[in-house]
Structure 1
């Protein structure tokens, strides 16, 4: 059955960003990841120093893209993994670029640095021409590549996860969503899901409904919020948890009851990445 537009936790008023980012006293250090895109500017200036700052904020995992974002002299995956561990963090979810990737080489690199989960950022048909737009025919023509990639990752000892965007929960021709098609066309042992709660919400799907439906197939999560009053592009609407419309204060305890997957704070283009990371960590610790 196709995912339907539903609401959950109505009326989540925007919450103010919290000024302090130290872990909440008296609470255990629950796993919390940080996605590299949140602090991309800071990483480009000082990769190792930014990782140390993330660890000081209470993060336990750091997820990063294996191939370069195009930011100049980016460290190799091996150097990134060493700096992550030197900072006292665990190597979190590593990522394929969505297009033009040497998948075999990147799988070998991911296994070599001790990663456990490797994610595909987006289905190429949705980003090759117009962002978020693809035909059902083009999407289904790409599916065998997804299946083959999942099998290769499993053979290398990696969990392969597909990361959803808003377009993945919007029906294609015939009424099925891309995510529906992936779920019925692939084995959970080959293709897990990296659930982005905010993009599910943005696409009109209640994130808790989707999380409950996916169950153990969720290998990791991206935690961000939505403020549709900001900017002009869709990614401009992505803000740190607690600063948008999703009511994460109510969501976080319920998420914890549904899954043990590590959630990663992710903001696509914050003005100040470390400030966003600090606010996200603080909010998570106070409301988990």
Structure 2
């Protein structure tokens, strides 16, 4: 098991190549890509090769994934093994609307195509996926119930922000969790310029315990460091790498 870095955290850095070189120097061997980086997959693959990094996982938006053949071609070119849809396809889902069942079925079709191509496919949560419907089902359950081939990349801090217990969900659906986003939450009222997120190991989450629980209760292969709004992406990368090494990841 190894740790990775979600490159969305460094989306405001001037040079992707410089960022990859820095991540490699900090001890990262893997990164997780995101949809905005795939305009030139061959160039991206070369940049990764130049820095000795691999990209076993990536995020692609639902709209991008609907052209499944093109998404799979990107994955083949870059060397991506598993793609996670990072969010629902429209603002309606985030404000209480949106048809989660229809979305889940759409994800299931993509999962089937990825499986047929020898690739993994899954979904990454925020907090929207934990509001129960009239039948007592949460969107994350609808998504995973729609296909046994849809995996779950648990963003643990967003589960906490949804006022849910990550351990409960590991116990319930741990066999579906194949990656975990590692981010931290600042104490109340702090880091407001970073939307209340904190560098891994500097916030309020008990990551040493969570990591041991993840290893025991899930099938997670990847611990992916992420910060949604770092004021300094390299500072975050440095702190996250040090923390994850200290946790024995």
If the length of structure 1 is used for normalisation, what is the TM-score?
Answer: 0.77
Indicate the residue corresponding to 1:128 in structure 2.
91
Larger Rg: 1
Deviation at 1:100, TM superposition (A): 5.7
2:235 matched to 1:265? no
2:152 matched to 1:181? no
Deviation at 1:180, TM superposition (A): 1.4
Deviation at 1:230, TM superposition (A): 4.2
Q: Show the 5 A alignment for 1:132-281.
A: 132-135=94-97, 138-187=99-148, 190-227=149-186, 228-230=188-190, 236-259=195-218, 260-281=220-241
CA deviation vs aligned residue, 1:194-233 (integer Å, no higher than 9, x gap): 1111111111222223223323322211110122424669
Q: Give yes or no for contact 2:115–2:121 (8 Å, CA) kept in 1.
A: yes
More off after superposition, 146-155 vs 90-99: 90-99
Q: Give yes or no for contact 2:191–2:197 (8 Å, CA) kept in 1.
A: no
Which consecutive unaligned segments of at least 5 residues does structure 2 have?
Answer: none
Q: Give yes or no for contact 2:101–2:143 (8 Å, CA) kept in 1.
A: no
- Supply the distance in 1 between the matched residues of 2:50 and 2:217 (Cα, whole angstroms): 32
CA deviation vs aligned residue, 1:213-272 (integer Å, no higher than 9, x gap): 323322211110122424669x71232222222122332333333344211000011000
Q: Give yes or no for contact 1:147–1:186 (8 Å, CA) kept in 2.
A: yes
How many residues in Structure 1 have an aligned counterpart in Structure 2? 245
If the length of structure 2 is used for normalisation, what is the TM-score?
Answer: 0.88
Indicate the residue corresponding to 2:82 in structure 1.
117
Q: Give yes or no for contact 1:122–1:164 (8 Å, CA) kept in 2.
A: yes
Q: Which runs of 4+ in 1 moved over 4 A?
A: 230-233
Q: Give yes or no for contact 2:64–2:71 (8 Å, CA) kept in 1.
A: no
- Supply the distance in 2 between the matched residues of 1:105 and 1:273 (Cα, whole angstroms): 30
- Supply the distance in 2 between the matched residues of 1:143 and 1:251 (Cα, whole angstroms): 28
